[in-house]
Structure 1
Amino acid sequence: MGEFELIRNYFAAAPCAQPGEGVALGIGDDCALLSVAPGEQLAISTDTLVAGVHFPGVCDPFLLGQRALGVSASDLAAMGASPLAFTLALTLPDVSADWLEAFARGLNEMAQGCSMRLIGGDTTRGPLSLTVTVFGSVPTGQALTRSGARPGDLLCVGGPLGDGAGALPLVLNQRSTEASTTQVLLARYWSPQPQLGLGRALRGKATAALDISDGLLADCGHIALASGVRLQVERERLPMSGALLSFFGLEQARQAALAGGDDYVLAFTLPPSELDSLVSAGWPVSVVGRVVEGQGVALIDDQGQDITPLTRGYQHFRETP
């Protein structure tokens, strides 16, 4: 099967590749054309997932299709953007009709759930990897960034932490547990749900934001650096699911919540006066700390003592001794 036949059969015909709002021209030409309303800015982000690094080399292609787009769309949520479209660059070691059909179904399911249109991409032969570029729009001047946190702000997250990292022993078949716990943890890993609605609700309220991909402590470091402040994370306030706690126990669950990564929930700083309106509106906001003067990120215990661990999250290309 040639490249163009592969695209036509498995991607161009998918429901998510059909014309839709914001897409003036989709798959079929040298470029796609997007329409952005007056007073809007285009938000763009690219993620690459590599087999054996970001997901097991042997896995369910339907779930991989969901994960590939979900983790990328989470970046739009972090900016407060409304999703428009995405492209897919797919590198395959070989062509399998069954694999492609399942992958395309998973991709389409996540795309329709996020209201995104597939508008193009590329296919090549090589080790399995996926590069997704997402496009969204945000009113001019209202994008959430990492650089606005101020001393006195609250540090908040948009849901339970650690489930993605908690799922890894299950994904890698290193451990097993009861079905109800397995289902919760694996769903958080394979089908992360981008917090697009929460991101839009934070426009004009949050002073800084990002999505948690490499671990709470590591990612909060980006806000601290960009904003020129210090973030204090309070260990006792970490929100964790019952599934994670029952699978890992308290101490290991805390480690997953702090440094495990793969959460894809939003972390954001918020003036205290904005908290009640978000909670009253039903958004899943948990306060986990505060912003103070200084620099960096600190983890403190219930006595206010600094207990910051050396390992704060996942980093690509980290040098090993």
Structure 2
Amino acid sequence: MLLVNIDGYASSESKLPWMSWSDWGWKATVASMADILASGGRPKAIACSIGVSRLEYAYEIASGIGEVSSWANIQVLKCDTNRSHGDNWIDVAVLGYTLKPIPRSGARPGDLLVQVGPIGYGFLSDLALKGLIDIRDYPRVLEYTRRPKIQLDIGPRLGECSIRASIDNSDGWIATLYQLSLSSRVKIVVEKTIIIEEALDVASRIGVSEYKVLESWEDYNLALAVPPQNTDCILEYCKRYDIRCDIIGRVELGSRVYYKDLELKPIGWTWVD
């Protein structure tokens, strides 16, 4: 089955201050690829359209997209260029293929919630944007937010492990879990979360609660609803590739998202007010 995903961004809202234009092209492409992986697919090709106010931006953005294609060993089919008299923008479409598509709407009461990959990069980016930290003090975070890298063959593994529902985290971890809850019409109960050490250390130092870290965006980690008998399949995959992965909660009858006994508000990153 053919999978297609498209994501679009304006540079004024999505290009972080420490990103080059080629970084921005890389990030936008990986973000679109993450949706293909979450759907159980393997990315196969890229197409894009960009609007720029200066010609050199087009070359740099195209360079970033080309570097992703080389890293992922997939083809760039076409990239359309346009002159923009206002904001610079980019749309990236990624084509993929799957034998077994994984929806967001498949979670069922009794499933276990598995987190694949940590959160916290977006949380620290948010603090940096607010001037509360210097992102350069956290080299690993700086590099990941500039050029995120995701596990490219995890998509087909989701189908092999009979994952019922899957979604990637781009807009915020809480918001992501709410999308899973709403799509599947279930209650999500989270007991713990995998968070990068840098985010935990900063949160503790500046007195920010763990709940605030849960808003972290553009981490591109996955939330999976997994039948209990199939959890070993995905956990063993994570162990083989040294991916931080764990059972963090469960799916129940009901609605909304809870962290232990506290109902969470669907707060996350948004491109519009």
* TM-score by shorter chain over 0.5: yes
Instruction: Answer whether contact 1:163 1:185 (CA < 8 A) is retained.
Output: yes
1:310 corresponds in structure 2 to: 265
Change in CA separation of 1:146 and 1:309 when aligned onto 2, cut-off 3 Å: closer
Aligned equivalents of 2:212, 2:48: Cα separation in 1: 30
Instruction: Answer whether contact 1:81 1:196 (CA < 8 A) is retained.
Output: no
Identical-residue share of aligned pairs (%): 25
1:80 corresponds in structure 2 to: 40
> Is 1:183–2:143 an aligned residue pair?
no
* Alignment match of 2:189 (pick from 217, 232, 255): 232
Change in CA separation of 1:48 and 1:316 when aligned onto 2, cut-off 3 Å: same
Note the 1:1-321 alignment, pairs <5 A: 41-56=1-16, 59-96=19-56, 99-126=57-84, 127-139=87-99, 142-170=100-128, 175-176=133-134, 179=137, 182-204=138-160, 205-234=162-191, 237-249=192-204, 252=208, 254-281=210-237, 282=239, 284=243, 285-300=245-260, 305=261, 307-310=262-265, 312-318=267-273
Change in CA separation of 1:69 and 1:173 when aligned onto 2, cut-off 3 Å: farther
Question: What is the CA deviation profile of residues 160-202 of structure 1, one whole-angstrom value per residue up to 9, with x for unaligned ones?
Answer: 11212312344676532674xx211122212122333222211
Change in CA separation of 1:47 and 1:241 when aligned onto 2, cut-off 3 Å: same
TM-score (norm: length of structure 2): 0.88
How far did residue 130 of structure 1 move?
A: 0.5
User: Which moves more between the two structures, 106-115 or 169-178?
Assistant: 169-178
Aligned equivalents of 1:175, 1:70: Cα separation in 2: 26
Aligned equivalents of 2:265, 2:183: Cα separation in 1: 21
| Unmatched runs of 5 consecutive residues or more in structure 1 | 1-40
Query: Once superposed, what is the RMSD of the aligned Cα atoms?
Result: 2.3
| Unmatched runs of 5 consecutive residues or more in structure 2 | none
Structure exhibiting the larger radius of gyration computed from Cα positions: 1
Question: What is the CA deviation profile of residues 23-44 of structure 1, one whole-angstrom value per residue up to 9, with x for unaligned ones?
Answer: xxxxxxxxxxxxxxxxxx1100
Instruction: Answer whether contact 1:165 1:262 (CA < 8 A) is retained.
Output: no
Aligned equivalents of 2:195, 2:17: Cα separation in 1: 29
Aligned equivalents of 1:162, 1:195: Cα separation in 2: 18
How far did residue 69 of structure 1 move?
A: 0.8
Aligned equivalents of 2:18, 2:198: Cα separation in 1: 25
Code of the residue aligned with 2:154 in structure 1: it is L
How far did residue 215 of structure 1 move?
A: 1.4
Code of the residue aligned with 1:157 in structure 2: it is Q
Code of the residue aligned with 2:218 in structure 1: it is D
Instruction: Answer whether contact 1:80 1:196 (CA < 8 A) is retained.
Output: no
Instruction: Answer whether contact 1:74 1:195 (CA < 8 A) is retained.
Output: no
How far did residue 136 of structure 1 move?
A: 0.4
TM-score (norm: length of structure 1): 0.76
Higher RCO (Cα < 8 Å, 6 or more apart): 2
Aligned equivalents of 2:29, 2:73: Cα separation in 1: 12
Q: Matched residue of 2:15: which SS?
A: coil
Q: Matched residue of 2:13: which SS?
A: coil
Q: Matched residue of 2:50: which SS?
A: strand
Question: What is the CA deviation profile of residues 178-237 of structure 1, one whole-angstrom value per residue up to 9, with x for unaligned ones?
Answer: 74xx21112221212233322221114211001011112211122212212111112xx2
Change in CA separation of 1:162 and 1:88 when aligned onto 2, cut-off 3 Å: same
Code of the residue aligned with 2:81 in structure 1: it is T
Code of the residue aligned with 2:236 in structure 1: it is S
Name the count of aligned residue pairs: 265
Q: Matched residue of 2:67: which SS?
A: helix
Q: Matched residue of 2:258: which SS?
A: strand
How far did residue 256 of structure 1 move?
A: 4.8
1:22 corresponds in structure 2 to: none
Change in CA separation of 1:173 and 1:63 when aligned onto 2, cut-off 3 Å: farther
User: Which moves more between the two structures, 282-291 or 202-211?
Assistant: 282-291
1:19 corresponds in structure 2 to: none
Instruction: Answer whether contact 1:184 1:243 (CA < 8 A) is retained.
Output: no
How far did residue 59 of structure 1 move?
A: 3.9
